[in-house]
């Protein structure tokens, strides 16, 4: 089984570890460069991207993670993790920095104050069995993507209809929502399969 790390500096680390274990991955928390060396893929959880960004520097993980990404390691970011994988962040803090990740521009807390949290069905291209029940919590959306980025899912109804909430660029996968907070394991299965076929 592929060994998949969860960046364990802040955020909903335990939920991702449980979801990965449920689909047969060997799931481990990653806090140190030596732990990163031992994984085939990495999940960046939801939480607060500004906090995760600071802790990535404090724990001296920025350069090692950028190097692994450049070498082709699969990474999946959910919510704050999507922000950490974005080349450009709108409404971010001036000092927050992501990894050398996906050629996309994302907007933090994009869905607005009135709708801090909501749930919506989102069809994900490449995942069969009907739409995922997506949970959004102070979520970002993706405003622009580069030519190499595949849009996997968008909001289909309501004022945010058409907004991009799931993308993939080669081995990098990101969603605005939190599949780890539901019992549907199809997205973790999809990522584990990606790690398995890459490793
Ligand atoms: N608003 C958070 C941020 O900017 C993301 C929210 C989440 O991960 N649920 O990082």
137 within ligand 1 shell (Cβ under 6 A): yes
What ipTM does this complex have? 0.94
Under the banding of pLDDT at 50, 70 and 90, the label for residue 116 is: confident
- Residues 71/37, Cβ–Cβ less than 8 Å: no
Q: How far is the CA of 112 from the centre of ligand 1 (A)?
A: 12
- Dmax (CA) for the chain in angstroms is 45
Q: Is residue 119 marked as binding?
A: no
Please check the confidence at residue 115 and state whether its pLDDT lies above 80: no
| pLDDT confidence of residue 114 | 54
| pLDDT confidence of residue 112 | 81
Please check the confidence at residue 167 and state whether its pLDDT lies above 60: yes
Active site residue 180: yes
Counting residues of the chain whose pLDDT is more than 70, the rounded percentage is 98
The mean pLDDT value for 54-71 works out to 98
* Torsion angle in degrees (nearest 10) through CA of 5, 98, 55, 80: -70
Q: Is residue 176 marked as binding?
A: no
Q: Which domains does the chain have, with CATH numbers?
A: 3-198 (3.40.50.880)
Active site residue 178: yes
The mean pLDDT value for 143-149 works out to 98
Give the pLDDT confidence of 32-45 residue by residue, as tens digits. 999 999 999 999 99
The mean pLDDT value for 130-145 works out to 97
Give the pLDDT confidence of 168-178 residue by residue, as tens digits. 999 999 999 99
Active site residue 79: yes
Q: State how far Cα 50 lies from the chain centre.
A: 15
| pLDDT confidence of residue 89 | 98
Give the pLDDT confidence of 103-113 residue by residue, as tens digits. 999 999 999 86
| pLDDT confidence of residue 162 | 96
Q: Pick the atom of ligand 1 nearest to 136's CA.
A: 9
Spatial distance between the Cα atoms of 139 and 158, rounded to a whole number of angstroms: 16
Spatial distance between the Cα atoms of 10 and 29, rounded to a whole number of angstroms: 11
Q: Is residue 137 marked as binding?
A: yes
The mean pLDDT value for 71-75 works out to 98
Q: State how far Cα 79 lies from the chain centre.
A: 6
Instruction: Please name the residue that has the structure tokens 């996906």.
Output: 102
Backbone angles phi, psi at 53, to 5 degrees: -60, -45
| pLDDT confidence of residue 113 | 63
Q: How far is the CA of 106 from the centre of ligand 1 (A)?
A: 12
Nearest to 76 by CA among 155, 160, 19: 19
Spatial distance between the Cα atoms of 140 and 8, rounded to a whole number of angstroms: 21
Spatial distance between the Cα atoms of 138 and 157, rounded to a whole number of angstroms: 18
């Amino acid at each position: 089984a592929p060994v998949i790390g969860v960046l364990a500096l802040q955020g909903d680390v335990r939920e991702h570890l449980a979801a990965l274990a449920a689909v047969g991955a060997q799931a481990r928390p990653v806090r140190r460069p030596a732990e990163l060396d031992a994984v085939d893929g990495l999940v960046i959880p939801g939480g607060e991207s500004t906090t995760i960004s600071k802790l990535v520097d404090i724990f001296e993980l920025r350069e090692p993670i950028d190097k692994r990404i450049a070498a082709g390691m699969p990474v999946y970011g959910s919510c704050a993790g999507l922000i950490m994988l974005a080349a450009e962040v709108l409404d971010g803090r001036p000092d927050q920095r992501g990894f050398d990740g996906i050629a996309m521009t994302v907007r933090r807390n994009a869905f607005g104050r009135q709708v801090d949290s909501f749930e919506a069905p989102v069809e994900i291209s490449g995942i069969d069995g009907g739409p995922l029940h997506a949970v959004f919590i102070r979520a970002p959306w993706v405003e622009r993507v580069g030519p190499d980025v595949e849009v996997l899912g968008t909001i289909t109804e309501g004022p945010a209809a058409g907004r991009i909430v799931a993308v993939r660029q080669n081995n990098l996968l990101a969603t605005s929502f939190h599949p780890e907070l539901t019992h549907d394991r199809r997205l973790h299965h999809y990522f584990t399969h990606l790690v398995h076929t890459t490793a």
